[in-house]
Amino acid sequence: MNTKPRIVVLGAGYAGMMTTKKLMKNLSPEEAEIVLVNKHNYHYQTTWLHELAAGTINQNQVRIMIRDIINPNRVRLIYDTVVKIDKDDSRVILENSELTYDYLVVCLGYETNTFGIKGMNEHAFFIEDFDSCRLIREHIEYQFAKYNNDPDADESSLNILVGGGGFTGIEFIGELVEKVPKLCKKYDIDRGKVKVINVEAAPSILPNFDKDLVTYAKKSLQERGAHIMEDTRINECTQEGFIVGENNELIKAGTIVWTGGVTGNSILGTSGFELTKGKVMVHGDLRAPGYDNIFILGDCAWVMNKQENRPYPPTAQAAMQHATTCGNNIRALIHNEPLEEFVFSDKGTVASLGVTDGMGAILGDKKLYGKSAAAMKKIVDDRYLFLLGGPILLLKKGKVRPF
């Protein structure tokens, strides 16, 4: 009789992949059965999606086949869609089957949050996953190709309108101001006819960044042709563009992309978890309140910074650190050992503003600008690849190429 505990990991994002890797290291095949469930047979770098959407990176570089990283002889891989988590019966209901579990790790990622803005769901694209970003890229190029065949068409069809001036929105703008001149050259279109517009409701873009860094980012983007509209509320999204401000001004565009917010996966709510702003407020050991065998990580979880009495930012580096704590704690539970509390080690945050530009802060308060920041961003991305798949994956997918 098989008495090995079964650990089921839902989602193959940063937290899910790294948790699975940690469990493989922490537990022998005789100690536990590990199951990884994901909708697709590939993993992708979420922090590269804005580049895929803008068309500045090859889509094959973003996507990594799961079985190339996770040995299917060691971990059972199931490619299916999660429908519901039955917490009381310790079951996961999938579209095509169901699973029981002894320990569950929920890493189902985020969904776009439009904050109820009328028409946003119907008329805007979202930087949400691999397929949605590939669709954005194709749509932008289609708008240029269509205009090239009909020079008398409305110039506003070339405009690219981005709602939300947070991390993703600004990084996307940074890629667009580099991609647009190349598209103009390819389709013989005057660069002056194309507007790249960012609309942010808050008084400033990048609200979580230092003022000097924000000033640098704005200047860099504006000098390369971006139009940044701060303190501008989006009242409605239509097929033509955004209706904004007290005067209900219409900003027209052929491509409309919303990057203004995300929330935890909706399966959390339909499965009966208690939510705070769309996510589960987990304990310090990353377990869901009331369930000793369920861990919730990444974009699905709020993890409190007890010193500052607020949640840690839901970043990729945080998700990777969640994985380490979770992997250690599941091993501890199996062996009846004490669990550890999650402690976030902030390595800093760097935002790209295009291929050769960026800004951010590392090692506490050391500020980086320009090419040095862009280089550091690539190093951070490559570090994840190395941790995930070692030198082979780094050489295959990495951004920093040896000379």
Please choose, from the candidates 40, 15, 77, 45, the residue with its C-alpha nearest in 3D space to the C-alpha of residue 394. Answer: 45
C-alpha distance from residue 30 to each of 26, 90, 117 (Å)? 12, 22, 52
Judge contact between 341 and 284, C-beta under 8 A.
yes
Instruction: Mark whether 178 is an active-site residue.
Output: no
Residue 188 DSSP symbol: T
Residue 76 parent element (H or E): strand 76-79
Please choose, from the candidates 402, 106, 103, the residue with its C-alpha nearest in 3D space to the C-alpha of residue 282. Answer: 106
Q: State the DSSP string of 346-400.
A: --EEEEESSTT-EEEEETTTEEEEHHHHHHHHHHHHHHHHHHHHHHHHHHHH-SS
Catalytic residue selected from 51, 128, 171, 200 = 171
Judge contact between 311 and 332, C-beta under 8 A.
no
Q: C-alpha angle with apex 328: 327 to 331, nearest 5 degrees? A: 90
Catalytic residue numbers read 171
